[in-house]
């Protein structure tokens, strides 16, 4: 079942990106979708029930607006720091541990940190240890507060 769903999703995505209905593109899309699905169908639907997938989808709908707002706020802060005459930039490397249980949770946190301007995840280990570069102390401190970690933990369902 996961193979078929993955193939359909990938083919629809292929057609949306190609935007053309030439027979060559359609056949290439079908072949590519089937090949990629054969290799990786268990990654998209790994031991997940439909209800569980829907629950995660709804949690993601709650998480994404919050993340987008954090990105907007970080953009404003970064613009201020770069345009201010004294350039209040004070790079920091911070280290912290999380209690995220899954690889997906660790990956979601690492990507969320990197997507937020002014911070970059340097190391994200499976055991939840993170090393992050921040452009100043304030963004570093906000990561240490743990709000983003709590949001990702809620996304995991804990």
Average pLDDT value for residue range 39-43: 79
Highest mean pLDDT among 39-48, 112-121, 139-148: 112-121
**Residue 57 pLDDT > 80, yes or no?**
no
The mean of the pLDDT values for the chain is: 88
pLDDT band at 118 (very low <50, low <70, confident <90, very high): very high
pLDDT for position 55:
76
Distance CA 142, CA 19 (A): 42
Over residues 1-17, the pLDDT tens digits come to 778 888 999 999 999 99
Q: Which residues of 119-154 are buried (b: 16+ CB within 10 A; e: fewer)?
A: bebeebeeebebebbbbbeebbebbeeeebbebbbe
**Residue 53 pLDDT > 70, yes or no?**
no
pLDDT band at 21 (very low <50, low <70, confident <90, very high): confident
pLDDT for position 35:
93
**Residue 46 pLDDT > 90, yes or no?**
no
pLDDT for position 117:
94
Task: Put residue 146 in one of left, alpha, beta given phi > 0 → left and psi -120 to 50 → alpha.
Answer: left
pTM of the entire structure?
Answer: 0.69
**Residue 49 pLDDT > 70, yes or no?**
no
Over residues 119-153, the pLDDT tens digits come to 999 999 988 899 999 999 988 898 899 999 999 99
């Amino acid at each position: 079942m996961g193979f078929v769903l993955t193939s359909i999703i990938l083919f629809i995505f292929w057609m949306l990106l190609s935007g053309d209905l030439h027979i060559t593109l359609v056949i290439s899309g079908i072949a590519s979708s089937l090949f990629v699905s054969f290799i990786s169908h268990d990654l998209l639907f790994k031991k997940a029930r439909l209800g569980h997938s829907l629950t995660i989808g709804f949690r993601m709908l709650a998480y994404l607006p919050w993340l987008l707002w954090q990105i907007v706020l970080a953009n404003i802060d970064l613009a201020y720091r770069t345009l201010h005459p004294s350039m209040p930039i004070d790079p920091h490397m911070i280290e912290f541990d999380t209690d995220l249980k899954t690889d997906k949770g660790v990956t979601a946190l690492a990507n969320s940190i990197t997507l937020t301007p002014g911070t970059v995840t340097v190391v994200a280990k499976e055991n939840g240890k993170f090393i992050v570069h921040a452009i100043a102390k304030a963004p570093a401190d906000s990561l240490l507060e743990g709000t983003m970690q709590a949001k990702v933990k809620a996304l995991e369902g804990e």
